[in-house]
């Protein structure tokens, strides 16, 4: 048991070292920064457009740098009432309106984009090593289960680091390209989102790794990973729609706990309630990672 | 590692198996609630209480009906009020309760009170947004140093204090039942304009000519900096 855990940790460690050496880690970090930067810039553009229109209506000059109006608006009672009438959970609305605007964009867009990115990354975990047969040499010293779990752990840590690093982009956009953005509050809120987004990424990484184990063609694994993530969103939307309609209650009760999105909405919470959903997402990711293992364990390498 | 994976699998299966039953129960309750709403809707359709209530309220209504009335038609349909009372005493009771509540509400709140409150709040937000945007435009356009910005902020503060005093005087006068005479009203307006002109002069004095040239004229408009507190003072006039 101890040797197995030690091997897993070693493989994770070597995976990180290999990622540094082959610059995969650098590429991953750049992708994360680009996505979070793009998200923050998109959020800024929406706020800017809104402020320009409002400035014209109120007959005050427009500004090149947005942010002043939004910060005032989120403290106004009638704005709270307007948002509350659109979103049913008043507590969540009240909490969300205390957060800096860019952090909300960062969180929600990451929630949609990250699954696709990490699933593609996961699809490259095992398949290339099967194809070039380099996996055989690694497996001389360790078991297949340890190899899979080690790579999953190593890649998870890299994704965690990437998620942490991604906080820099909204901070830069908020501080240098917007006005009146509270720096420390933004830092604190972004840091509080890091564990949530990290845990959210894990099941999708597991999707990718599981698919990477069943084929040696990396591109096929990538396509399957993207399809499975898209499929999970479509299935979630289908279940959500029929849940509201009151159709197929048994089917919904049985199927919905198997899709990560079912727990994803619980992560958006001001309290610590998200921890339980987070635990389920972590175990779900290990289980999903193992779905490709029976085939991989019997594969002739 | 095998045991670790098994533990994770057990936890996951456990959470799902443990969660299915409560979730299914919840779904059933939701379904029941939905069905009971549908049943009560059907009951409502069968019952004549709704139409009877509408007829009674139409006969009591003080709101003038703008639609042309089709000759001398009985608002109670083919039945007299006494007949409806006999058929549906519940409807009469509900109608009475609605009337009482309406009267109480009208006593407690003047007709347009809530609406005017909302309008005032919107006006307050608009003034707050104007002030924030104008200040941001001034900072962006003129790039004043800390000292200049402090001077401008002080000028805005003094202007708003002065306007608040003026509006307070006006409100007091109105509350005492005095209508300001023509000359008094003109004097109020002149003082308010003078205050604003002084504020704008102070803005301009605080900034250099180059800074003023770089600014949009509206960023120097003292009207853009009026405090929403004035709305609160003027609100008492509305009450």
| Residues sharing a CB contact under 8 Å with residue A179, sequence separation 6 or more, in sequence order | A63, A65, A66, A67, A68, B136, B139, B140
What is the nearest CA distance from B37 to chain A, expressed in angstroms? 13
pLDDT in tens, A1-10: 678 889 999 9
pLDDT of residue B66: 47
Query: B17: nearest CA in chain A?
Result: A254
Would you give per-residue pLDDT tens digits along chain B (239 residues)? Answer: 788 888 888 888 888 777 777 777 777 777 777 777 777 666 655 566 666 666 666 665 544 444 454 545 555 556 666 777 777 777 777 777 777 777 776 666 555 566 667 777 888 888 889 999 999 999 998 899 999 999 999 999 999 999 988 888 888 888 787 777 888 888 888 998 999 999 999 999 999 998 888 888 888 889 989 888 888 777 766 65
Q: Which two tokens stand for residue B120?
A: 């005032």
Residues A5, B128: C-beta atoms closer than 8 Å: no
What is the nearest CA distance from A157 to chain B, expressed in angstroms? 18
pLDDT in tens, A115-141: 999 999 999 999 999 888 888 888 888
pLDDT in tens, A142-184: 889 999 999 999 999 999 999 999 999 999 999 999 988 888 9
| Alpha carbons B89 and B155: distance in angstroms, whole number | 69
- Whole-number Cα distances in Å, B213 to A56, A278, B138, B182, B220: 21, 57, 11, 39, 11
DSSP state of B38: H
* A145 touches B: beta carbon within 8 Å: yes
Distance of CA B14 to the CA centre of its chain: 49
| Alpha carbons A3 and A13: distance in angstroms, whole number | 15
| Alpha carbons B133 and A70: distance in angstroms, whole number | 10
pLDDT of residue B47: 61
pLDDT of residue A197: 95
What confidence tier does A226 reach under pLDDT thresholds 50, 70, 90?
very high
| Alpha carbons B147 and B169: distance in angstroms, whole number | 33
pLDDT of residue A299: 85
Tell me the domain boundaries of chain A.
2-298
Query: How many interface pairs between A and B have CB atoms less than 8 angstroms apart?
Result: 124
Residues B132, A71: C-beta atoms closer than 8 Å: yes
Helix axes A101-123, A24-58, angle to 10 degrees: 150
Asked whether A120 and A219 are in contact (CB, 8 A), the reply is no
Residue B180 burial class via C-beta count within 10 angstroms: exposed 0-12, middle 13-18, buried 19 and up: middle
| Alpha carbons A182 and B127: distance in angstroms, whole number | 22
What is the nearest CA distance from B177 to chain A, expressed in angstroms? 33
pLDDT of residue A115: 94
Q: Which of A1, A69, A287 sits opposite B133 (nearest CB)?
A: A69
pLDDT of residue A249: 79
Asked whether A158 and A19 are in contact (CB, 8 A), the reply is yes
User: Tokens 């009207």 appear where?
Assistant: B223
Asked whether A274 and A267 are in contact (CB, 8 A), the reply is yes
Predicted complex: ipTM over 0.85:
no
More confident residue, A256 or A34: A34
pLDDT at residue A83 tops 80: no
- Whole-number Cα distances in Å, B143 to A44, A58, B43, B146, B147: 22, 23, 70, 9, 11
Q: Name which of A93, A96, A42, A101 is nearest A67 in CA terms.
A: A101
């Amino acid at each position: 048991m101890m040797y197995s855990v030690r091997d897993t940790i070693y493989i994770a460690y070597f995976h990180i070292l290999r990622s540094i050496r082959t610059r995969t880690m650098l590429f991953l970090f750049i992708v994360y920064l680009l996505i979070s930067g793009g998200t923050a810039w998109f959020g800024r553009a929406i706020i800017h457009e809104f402020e320009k229109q409002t400035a014209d209506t109120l007959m005050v000059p427009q500004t090149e740098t947005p942010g002043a109006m939004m910060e005032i608006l989120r403290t106004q009672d009638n704005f709270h009432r307007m948002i509350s009438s659109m979103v049913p959970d008043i507590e969540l609305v009240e909490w969300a309106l205390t957060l800096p605007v860019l952090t909300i964009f960062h969180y929600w867009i990451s929630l949609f984009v990250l699954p696709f990115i990490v699933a593609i990354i996961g699809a490259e975990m095992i398949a290339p090593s099967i194809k070039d047969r380099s996996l055989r040499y690694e497996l001389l010293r360790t078991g297949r289960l340890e190899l899979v779990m080690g790579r999953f752990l190593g890649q998870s840590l890299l994704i965690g680091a990437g998620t942490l690093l991604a906080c820099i982009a909204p901070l830069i956009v908020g501080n240098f390209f917007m006005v009146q953005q509270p720096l420390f509050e933004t830092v604190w809120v972004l840091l509080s989102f890091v564990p949530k987004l990290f845990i959210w990424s894990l099941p999708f990484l597991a999707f990718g790794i599981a698919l990477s184990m069943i084929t040696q063609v990396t591109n096929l694994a990538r396509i399957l990973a993207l399809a499975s993530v898209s499929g999970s969103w479509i299935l979630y939307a289908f279940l959500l729609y029929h849940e509201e309609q009151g159709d197929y209650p048994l089917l919904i009760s049985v199927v919905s706990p198997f899709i990560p999105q079912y727990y994803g909405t619980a992560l958006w919470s001001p309290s610590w309630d998200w921890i339980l959903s987070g635990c389920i997402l972590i175990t779900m990711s290990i289980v999903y990672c193992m779905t490709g293992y029976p085939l991989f364990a019997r594969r002739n390498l | 590692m095998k045991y670790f994976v098994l533990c994770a699998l057990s936890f996951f299966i456990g959470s799902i198996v443990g969660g299915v039953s409560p979730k299914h129960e919840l779904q059933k309750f939701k379904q029941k609630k939905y069905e009971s709403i549908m049943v009560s809707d059907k009951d409502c359709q069968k019952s004549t209480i709704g139409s009877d209530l509408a007829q009674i309220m139409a006969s009591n209504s003080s709101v003038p009906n703008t639609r042309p009335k089709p000759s001398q038609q009985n608002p109670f349909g083919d039945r007299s009020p006494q007949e409806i009372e006999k058929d549906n005493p519940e409807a009469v009771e509900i109608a009475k309760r609605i009337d009482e509540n309406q009267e109480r509400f009208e006593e407690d709140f003047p007709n347009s009170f809530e609406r005017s409150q909302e309008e005032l709040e919107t006006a307050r937000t608009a003034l707050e947004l104007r002030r924030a945007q104008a200040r941001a435009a001034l900072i962006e356009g003129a790039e004043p140093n800390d000292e200049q910005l402090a001077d401008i902020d002080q000028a805005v503060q003094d202007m708003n204090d002065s306007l608040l005093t003026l509006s307070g005087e006006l409100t007091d006068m109105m509350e005492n039942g005095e209508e300001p005479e023509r000359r008094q009203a003109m004097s109020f307006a002149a003082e308010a304009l003078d205050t604003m002109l002084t504020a704008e002069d102070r803005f301009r004095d605080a900034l250099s000519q180059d800074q003023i040239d770089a600014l949009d004229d509206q960023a120097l408009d003292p009207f853009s900096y009026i405090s929403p507190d004035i709305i609160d003072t003027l609100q008492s006039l509305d009450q």
